[in-house]
Structure 1
Amino acid sequence: MNAWSEWDHIVKVDPDKTLYEDETFEDVAATGTDAIMVGGTLGMTEEKMAEYVEGCIEGTRGHDIPVYIEPSSAGVVVHPDGLDGYLVPIVFNAGDIAWVTGAHKEWVRMDGDIQWDVTHTEAYIVLNEEASVAEYTQADCTLDAADVAAYAEVAEQMFGQDIVYVEYSGTLGDPEIVGAAHDALDEATLFYGGGVHDYDSAFEMGQHSDVVVVGDLVHDAGCAAVRETVEGVTAANN
């Protein structure tokens, strides 16, 4: 069984942003989240990634929370001791083929230290056309529920993906579309990310997905707000 099949909630921290006020990575770990993912789209450097990953690994000691890197490019990947693994996006609705295979090929070509036993892929479906990741990947965001469900099924059944990730990045998504993706999957885990900012939004999206990912909230509103989303997702799944 994959680790994420037992998760309800992930906090994604962005190395190009600061934590809220004087909060620490230990505070993030204490929110009740099931995992921490480190990654971002803009302003990423190897130095920033290394600092955040080391901080997360140190902050989660005693909390039994895994830390994963979600790399956006080959040049920002680091391999510290204590890291649980890598969750690598493959953008299924990308207009730029580089985000389906090209960037991944470059990582393999440049990095001789990839640990394949802890490297996993995520079948991303990007749906907010105003998000940086949509522009970055030239994603086709003009998809309806049937399109998204079909992408999800293709990801699992044709490409063997264990994670399908519906990403609205910065705005709360359409529950019908997210639910359609969830219903199309047999055993793959559906991650949802975008716009979850309180108990109610977490509860709503938790009803239509397996794992809710919270990102900007930890930087903009802090750990108390993140804890609310953990409570919302937990209630949705019980």
Structure 2
Amino acid sequence: MNPWDDWDHIVKIDPDKTLIDGETFEDVCATGTDAIAVGGTTGMTEEKMSRVIEACGKYQLPVYIEPSHDGAVVHSDALDGYLIPVVFNAGDVAWTTGVHKEWVRLDGDINWEKTFTEAYIVLNPDSSVATVTESNCDLEADEVASYAEVAEKMFGQQIVYIEYSGTLGDPEIVQAAHETLDTASLFYGGGIHDYDSAHEMAQHADTVIVGDLVHDEGVDAVRETVKGANDMKREIRPS
């Protein structure tokens, strides 16, 4: 059994951004989310990552980091593991194997038993991650589904991550990717901002992820997305 098999909802905290005034990492961890991921595309440093990891690691919730480069990797007893993005539709192959090679070359303390890769498919051309990775986001549903199938069947990926980063994606595209998977879990991130958007996307993905929401609107909004995701999963799971 994988750690994420029972996760319906993840909060991704960007260490380069602040929380809403008056809110704490304890508040974020108390929203009902199933796990915390720590990471972002730009401005990532070991110091910033460590600050969030140590704060969230005090609570009874899984904490994983999603580093964007080797300089943002932190080894800490407060961590449950590492989720490493591999961008399958990247135009710059550094984001498929290059930065990963550098991490392995420079880091002699990798705990491989706690290290997992995520097959990213980036679909918002205006996002920072699309710009940095030079991703080809002009994809039809069957192309996205094929990327998902390649990730699982050819590369043995256990997580496929549909990333719309900042905008709500096309449910039909997310569903097409989900339908092609046999055992891999489908993560979805992008534009989930309330109960309804979380409820909708939880129908098409195994796990939904909110990121900007915690920084822009705060924990009450995050709590609504947790409820939306959980309600949908109760509806579609057999009793």
TM-score w.r.t. the length of structure 1 is: 0.97
The code of the aligned residue for 2:156 comes to G
The code of the aligned residue for 1:153 comes to E
Counterpart contact for 2:46–2:73, Cα < 8 Å: yes
Task: For residues 152-191 of structure 1, give each alpha carbon's deviation from its aligned partner in whole angstroms, at most 9, with x where no partner exists.
Answer: 0000011000000000000000000000000010010000
SS of residue paired to 1:212: strand
Q: CA deviation at 1:226?
A: 0.2
Name the Cα RMSD after superposition.
Answer: 0.6
Identity of aligned residues (%): 69
Greater alpha carbon shift after TM alignment, 43-52 vs 2-11: 43-52
Do structure 1's residue 67 and structure 2's residue 67 form an aligned pair?
no
Equivalent position of 1:139 in the other structure: 135
Identify which of 176, 179, 184 aligns with 1:188: 184
Equivalent position of 1:51 in the other structure: 51
Equivalent residue runs for 1:1-238 within 5 Å = 1-58=1-58, 60=59, 64-238=60-234
Counterpart contact for 2:8–2:229, Cα < 8 Å: yes
Q: CA deviation at 1:55?
A: 1.1
Q: CA deviation at 1:233?
A: 0.4
Q: CA deviation at 1:39?
A: 0.1
SS of residue paired to 1:121: strand
Q: CA deviation at 1:45?
A: 1.1
The code of the aligned residue for 1:217 comes to L
Q: CA deviation at 1:3?
A: 1.1
**Number of aligned residue pairs:** 234
- Separation in 2 of the partners of 1:115 and 1:65? 20
Q: CA deviation at 1:46?
A: 1.2
SS of residue paired to 2:57: helix
Structure 1 runs (4+) greater than 4 angstroms displaced: none
Q: CA deviation at 1:82?
A: 2.2
The answer for unaligned runs of 5 or more in structure 1 is none
